[in-house]
């Protein structure tokens, strides 16, 4: 490697590190202040960089959020893949999907909320939100179809049912991960493991029913 190539490689690594620091800082500021109140100067300060450094990577706050939203979408895509096989028992895979979504939301929840807020006034973000929703609905719909092959939840439209379930999962994740949940109402602390397993049981229970006698979930 020549000295010129080495210099370019070092500069590229430095840029990548700075960009990553800005994105990480933005997630913290979004979680703390929300998208509307988040300021570029606050993000720069949180990242330990000058405000001018921000504009070397992003033109404005909207462009930064678009980049963060794409990372959230990819994280969901990577963590929630297709089932292992169409003949496999569908519910263990469904449990894994719900747990994976929770973990992704735990990491990117502030970004997800910011995208949803921005989608109400910006068509670019509205389209991203539709893409994220569509991805989740398709994933859930496939699991419901697999369950129906085994005789569960007969007579239910898989797409409609998955849209309903995705709404429940999304708001539950928002309520507990971002909005800090209903701890005041419950008057006790609830850790992630209890929340995740309760959500898993509710989602599986919404699908694992059959006509006739009740079956154990």
Domain count, the chain: 2
181 and 78 fall within a common domain:
yes
6 and 90 fall within a common domain:
no
69 and 45 fall within a common domain:
no
| Residue-level pLDDT, tens digit, the chain, 217 residues | 555 444 444 444 566 889 999 999 999 999 899 888 999 999 999 999 999 999 999 999 999 999 999 888 888 877 776 555 555 577 888 888 899 889 888 888 899 999 998 999 899 899 988 988 998 899 889 889 999 999 999 999 999 999 999 999 999 988 888 777 777 788 888 888 999 999 999 999 999 999 865 555 4
Q: What are phi and psi of 189, to 5 degrees?
A: -80, 145
120 and 154 fall within a common domain:
yes
81: nearest Cα among 135, 162, 152: 135
* Per-residue pLDDT, 74: 85
* Per-residue pLDDT, 190: 85
76 and 121 fall within a common domain:
yes
48 and 92 fall within a common domain:
no
Specify the CATH number for the domain of residue 204. Answer: 1.10.357.10
216 and 119 fall within a common domain:
yes
125: Cβ–Cβ under 8 A, 6 or more apart, which residues?
Answer: 62, 65, 66, 69, 115, 118, 119
State the residue range of the domain holding 29. 1-58
Taking the C-alpha atoms of residue 128 and residue 134, their distance in angstroms, rounded to an integer, is 10
Look at residues 10, 34, 58 and tell me which one is the last residue of a structural domain. 58
């Amino acid at each position: 490697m020549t000295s010129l190539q080495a210099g370019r490689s070092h500069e590229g690594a430095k840029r990548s590190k700075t960009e990553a620091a800005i994105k990480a800082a933005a997630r913290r500021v979004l979680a703390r202040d929300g998208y509307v109140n988040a300021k570029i100067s606050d993000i720069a300060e949180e990242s330990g960089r000058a405000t001018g450094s921000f504009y070397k990577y992003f033109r404005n706050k909207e462009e930064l959020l678009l980049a963060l939203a794409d990372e959230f979408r990819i994280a969901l895509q990577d963590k929630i893949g297709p089932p292992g096989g169409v003949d496999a028992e569908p519910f263990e895979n469904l449990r894994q999907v719900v747990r994976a979504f929770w973990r992704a939301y735990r990491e990117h929840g502030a970004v997800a909320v910011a995208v949803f807020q921005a989608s109400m006034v910006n068509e670019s973000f509205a389209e991203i939100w539709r893409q994220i929703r569509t991805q989740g609905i398709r994933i859930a719909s496939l699991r419901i179809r697999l369950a129906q092959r085994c005789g569960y939840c007969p007579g239910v439209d898989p797409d409609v049912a998955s849209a309903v379930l995705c709404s429940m999962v999304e708001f539950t994740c928002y309520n507990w991960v971002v909005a800090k949940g209903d701890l005041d109402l419950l008057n006790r602390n609830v850790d992630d493991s209890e929340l995740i397993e309760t959500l898993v049981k509710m989602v599986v229970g919404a699908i694992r029913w059959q006509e006739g006698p009740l079956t154990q979930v």
